[in-house]
Structure 1
C-alpha cells in the first residue's frame, strides 16, 4: 500500500533501502559521499534509510543516477523467484505460509544490553510484517539512538528448531537474532550476535541477550526508547525481561573450555 506522503509502497521502500545499503557496502563509500554525489542532504538520506521519512521519486532518481543502478526495480528478481511459491516463503527461510506466521506480525519493544554504557538497557522498536512481493516475513527497526544502524532483513521460521531467526545480510556480512517462539503473552527471548563498533573502523563480534515484547495498540506512548539507565522509571521492567533470557535458559552464554 502506498501511504499518502509517499510514492512507493512499504514493500518497495524496503527493497530500495536494501539496494542502497548493498550498493554502499559493495562500493565501500560512505553515506556522506553518496549524499553529496546525489546532491541531497545527508539528513534526508539517513531518514529515508531508517524509515523516518518516505522515499520520494526525486530522491530515488538522484540516488539511481549517483549509484548508476536501478533502485525502483530492486525487488523484481526476488518477486519473480518466489511467485511460483503461491505465498510460501523460500525453503531457506522455512517454507512457511503467510497464514502460518500471521501471529508473528506486529510491533515489538526490543531490548538488549547497551554496548556503550555498562548496566544500561538499549531499547528500540522492531516491526515484523509480511512482504507480499517477496513471499516472506521481513523486519525493520526504528526508534534507535544510532539511527544509522537501523537493521532490516528477513525472518526465518523453520519447524525443526522451534525458533525464530531475524537475519540481516549485507554483502556477506550477517547479524542474527535467534529467539524462542512467543510466550502466551507474546514475548520472545533469545540471543543476538552482531558486530560492535569500536575505535576507528574496528569491529568486534559480540553476543548479548535480546527480548522482543509485543507493543499493544495505543500503548507505544507509554514506552521509552533509547539508552535506559538504572535511574529511569522503566529500567527495572526492562532489566527483568533481559534477566529472563539466562534465568529461564532461553539462551546460554559459555566462555572458555
Structure 2
C-alpha cells in the first residue's frame, strides 16, 4: 500500500495478540434467541432441528479452520478451542473471534432452510451471534472449562424438561411452574417427572443431556493413566512450528472426518481414547470398510 499523509491513523490501532502457549476458547452465543425461537415456534424444551442446525454450522467452521481441535455446543452457544501451538492470524483476538462468528453465522443462515423448510427467515427475526475469546493456561483448566459447560447443559436441561412438562402436560401456568421449582435440587425434579408424568429423565436423548462434542475422528486409543491426560502443559514453552510444518499438519487434519458426538467429556476416558485432541498431533485415520 502506498504511503500517504493519512497513514498516521494506523497508530491508533491497539495490539490484541493473545498470550502465547495458552489454550484459546472462542465462545459464541445467539443474540436475541428467545425472540427468534418464539417467532419461528421452536419446540420446547428442545427443538432437535435447531440443535442439528447449530451442529451443522459448527461442523463447517471446523472444516474451514483445521487449527481447531475440538468444539462443544449446547442450546444457542458453541465453544471452539484452539491448541496452545496455534498461530492462526498471529493469535490476534479480533481476527479469531470475528472469523469464527462470521463463518458460523454465514453457514447457520445458509443451512436454515434445510432444517426449517417451511419457515423462511424474515427481518427483523434474523439469527446473529456474538463472541469472545478467553485464554486458559493449562490443559487441566481447559478441561475444567469444558466440564463446566457440560454440567451446565445437564442442569439447564433438567430444569427446562421439568418446567415445560409441568406446563405442557400438567396444565400449569409458567409462573406457577417456576414458583414450584424454585429451590429444588436434581432429585426433586427427577421425582416430579417420574411420579407425576411417568418420565424417566435418564431415558432422554443424550444430545439434550450432554450437548454436542465436535472433533476430528481418528482410530481410538487404549486408555492410559488419568494422570497423564491431566498433566499441566505449561511447564515449558511449546516449540514454535515452521510454516511448512503447520501447513503439513493442516493438510492431515483436513483429511479427518469431523464427527458430532453426544458423550461424557468430564471423565478421563474421552480424552485418553482421543489423545490427538490435547496433543494437536493427527492420529491414524480409520480404515474405511
TM-score class, shorter: under 0.3
TM-score (ref. length: structure 2): 0.24
User: Larger Rg: 1 or 2?
Assistant: 2
Normalized per residue, the structure richer in helix is: 2
TM-score (ref. length: structure 1): 0.26
